[in-house]
Chains A and B, each alone.
Chain A
Amino acid sequence: MSVEPEHCVTCSDEAVPARVVDVDGPNATVEAGGRRERVGIELVEPVEPGDTLLCHAGIALEKLA
């Protein structure tokens, strides 16, 4: 996931931290740089709105401390 579309999505140099707006089962809607996206959250559950997630290729890899 990238807020700067010229960047590579494959190795997440811009795996921008994204804020959780809404949680819906195994997915969450996250916002970063004014853009919203849906990401899979199985690897970082439980997740709540307001959490910040490191997202890459459509999934959350980690919660930011």
Chain B
Amino acid sequence: MRYVDEFRDGELAQKLSREIEALAEPGRVVKLMEVCGGHTHAIYKHGVEQLVPDEVDFVHGPGCPVCVIPMGRVDDAIALAERPEVIFTTFGDMMRVPGGRGSLLEAKARGADVRMVYSPLDALELARRNPDREVVFFAIGFETTAPATALTLLRARAEGVSNFSAFCNHVTIGPPLRAILDSPGLQLDAFIAPGHVSTVIGTRPYDFIVEEYGRPVVVTAFEPLDILQAVVMLLRQLRDGRCEVENQYTRVVRRDGNPRALAALEETMELRDTFEWRGLGWIEESALRLRPDFAEWDAEARFELPGGRVEDPKACQCGEVLIGAIKPWECKVFGTACTPERPIGTCMVSSEGACAAYYNYGRLTVPA
């Protein structure tokens, strides 16, 4: 398939691998954080870790949107789903995420009308077809996914669909990166920045990482050759003493992103003062809510929510995994009490979570 096969070429991968080998300084470990869960998934799935020397250490970042949703918000979602008039729609990955009161899947088993969708536009279509029900969409995700919610809200308003609403949990990528950079004792040399988030926001929002924190950044696509090339670009920056935001994903990412997507976000959503992130705690101006103009389509304005806070399970070390302080297999419950079938923490739930990705693909060199 065009745009896919040419980025999985084995010979080119070997060539890049040799180039990385040559650039790596023997004995000096370089820690590269791949911010996006998509990169984590690709690194494990394609065995990219086996193609780089020990001197290159991938640290898995906070960019799995399912993994960072706090348990209290899952409980709010379950409360919405349990209302008799509600059809609650969600991306499949959120179904098994445990809140304090179980998961949406368990709520569904108890009789709640929970349905999986691939797009908020599908949820809007459900609302059109079920005018006597309230259709609520569990809006989660970074700036990649938020435009789909924005577009759906704009269509709902234009068409006067009044029985659709969004339970907005969209988050933004910049603030958690700053939180990680500010965390004491963290040793990161450079960043592999997310590709698809950047199609929306562009590369400009990463400037603070090079300007204020002196860490090189390469915005990167998701095929194995893309990731290897990003490693080459970052190692070259470090070798040359440069510190820049470079764009490896030029086939879709532009410096200013997609202005129409940003305008749709601006029209429908605004920054929250603060939002809780699983594993990272409360981060100022790190999430979006619907603007007052869209209160009619805002599940938080239309329904009463419990709004409780739930502590993460004590055994769970998702927080440390999410900031790259420990590797998935270093968690006490990894692969034993916590598995993709019965996850304790969110990193094991989503296929993009570092733990699930490692559990499924990564156990080649380190025993679980």
Query: Is B264's beta carbon under 8 Å from chain A?
Result: yes
Bitwise interface map of A from 18 to 57 toward B, beta carbon under 8 Å scored 1, else 0: 0000000010000011000001101110000000101011
B258-A57 in contact (CB<8A): no
Contacts of A10 in B (CB 8 A): 65-66, 91, 93-94, 140-141, 145, 350, 352
Whether B92 sits at the interface, judged by CB under 8 Å, is: yes
- Total A-B pairs, Cβ < 8 A: 133
Q: Which residues of A contact B351 (CB under 8 A)?
A: 6-8
**A interface size (C-beta, 8 A):** 32
Which residues, 149 to 175 on B, are CB-close (under 8 Å) to A? 151, 154-155
Q: Which of B174-207 contact A (CB under 8 A)?
A: 194, 196-197, 199-200
- How far is the CB of B356 from the nearest CB of chain A, in Å? 10
Q: Is the interface of A mostly helix, strand, loop or mixed?
A: loop
Instruction: Give every chain B residue within 8 A of A8 (Cβ-Cβ).
Output: 37-38, 41, 64, 66, 91, 93, 350-352
Cross-chain pairs A/B with CB under 8 angstroms, 24 sampled:
A7-B41, A8-B37, A8-B351, A9-B91, A9-B118, A10-B66, A10-B352, A11-B36, A11-B63, A12-B144, A39-B119, A40-B148, A40-B155, A43-B258, A43-B261, A56-B144, A57-B148, A58-B121, A58-B148, A59-B151, A61-B199, A61-B252, A64-B252, A65-B252
A: residues with CB less than 8 A from B are 1, 6-17, 26, 32-33, 39-40, 42-44, 52, 54, 56-59, 61-65
List the interface of chain B (C-beta within 8 A of A).
Answer: 1-4, 36-39, 41-42, 63-66, 91-94, 118-122, 140-142, 144-145, 147-148, 151, 154-155, 194, 196-197, 199-200, 222, 250-253, 258, 260-261, 264, 350-352
